[in-house]
Amino acid sequence: MESSLVDTAGATLCPAAAAGGRRRGAGSFLNCSCSSKEYRVSASYSIGRMLSGVRSAARKKLFRSEPADLLGTNWSPDSPSGGADDGRHHHWWTALENNFVLEASEDEYGGVVVAAERLPSDKAAFARSLAASLSYWKSVGKKGVWLKLPVDRSEFVPIAVKEGFKYHHAEEAYVMMTYWIPEEPCMLPANASHQVGVGGFVINDQMEVLVVQEKYCGSSLDGAWKLPTGFILASEEIFSGATREVKEETGVDTEFVDVVAFRHAHNVAFQKSDLFFICMLRPTSNEIKIDETEIQAARWMPLEEFVKQPFIQEDHMFQKIMDICIQRLRKCYCGLTAHNVISRFDGRRSTLYYNVSEPEDVNCDAA
């Protein structure tokens, strides 16, 4: 059946080529000449490129269908012109491409993003389409392939792995996989390398610090009173993450003043790097109502008592953080304040944190 398809494809393609009808332009796979022998070779070579890497089982299944089935026409190899006389010059190659290449959009870097919502419904169809798609994308010079597999298509993951796809990242609803086509170092961006945490240094007019005892903590912090801390959420600002965490853990409302310092550590959870921002916050309420799922207790503690705790006195980093916070209270140190900016580079609104030390600045007198 494969050879009959090749022979008939040549008979169908040559008239279209002679008429200048290269349907796909420069990206066409089949460039016919006027010799029947030549365009049979051309069609065979193109099929080989299209189906390179397709497993033998998939090839057998592909060629079980007659060209008429693929085209959805009454095409017949016995017709006088091999089906070309009925005006259907889309040829069976286009039918192959449309039926077996996964739907995808092009990205701005010469790659493709597979449409996750348009994936085949069964494993056999996905395996056939994925192999054919890779062959097609290679032939037209694509680079990176982004394949997002939803949870309800998780059975496709082993198929993609066998084709050479790599894991990129996973979320609750999907797994993202990638494939780098060129025979050169991969230029696709890696998965996110950092997690971001915040801590709120909240101090009232009586020089009392808002502190908590966590229900679940390491032995080094057992019984210690510490600042409210947590991780910021996706698409959340540092300053809003800090005020949210304080509110969730203690019930106290606050407003952001500035970032007084941040720590950068590596090989933390899941071998990710960690950014931790210490934010000075001003309380706008005093009543404490703890989150009992995470917090054992919370209270307003005199600053002097808080600083004298052993875990602060015996740890250089914690001691330095407290020194910075105290200098900030004395207005001898300026933190990084948040400013909304829009860059012409991408047109996006973002927050730029920087030091403002003008004497008239109400938040900082260190000039």
Domain of residue 144, residue span: 104-180
203 and 169 assigned to the same domain: no
Q: Is 276 helix (H, G, I), strand (E, B) or coil?
A: strand
Please give the share of the chain, as a percent, with pLDDT higher than 70.
69
CATH number for the domain harbouring residue 123: 3.40.630.30
- Number of independent structural domains in the chain: 3
43 and 139 assigned to the same domain: no
142 and 283 assigned to the same domain: no
43 and 17 assigned to the same domain: yes
List of residues 6+ apart from 364 with CB closer than 8 A = 258, 331, 333, 334, 335, 356, 357
Residue 207 is predicted with a pLDDT of 97
Question: Is 217 domain-assigned?
Answer: yes
Q: What does the block give as tokens for 110?
A: 């010469």
Taking only the tens place, the pLDDT of each residue in 134-166 is 999 999 999 999 999 999 999 999 999 999 999
Reported pTM: 0.68
221 and 347 assigned to the same domain: yes
The 8-class DSSP code of residue 233 comes to P
314 and 229 assigned to the same domain: yes
Question: Is 366 domain-assigned?
Answer: no
CATH number for the domain harbouring residue 199: 3.90.79.10
Residue 358 is predicted with a pLDDT of 58
Q: Report whether 261 contacts 278 (CB < 8 A).
A: yes
| CA 324 distance to own-chain centroid | 36
Question: Is 188 domain-assigned?
Answer: no
205 and 342 assigned to the same domain: yes
Question: Is 360 domain-assigned?
Answer: no
Beta pairing class for 273-283 and 194-202: parallel
208 and 316 assigned to the same domain: yes
Residue 364 is predicted with a pLDDT of 62
111 and 79 assigned to the same domain: no
List beta partners, residue 150: 174
Residues for the chain: how many in total? 367
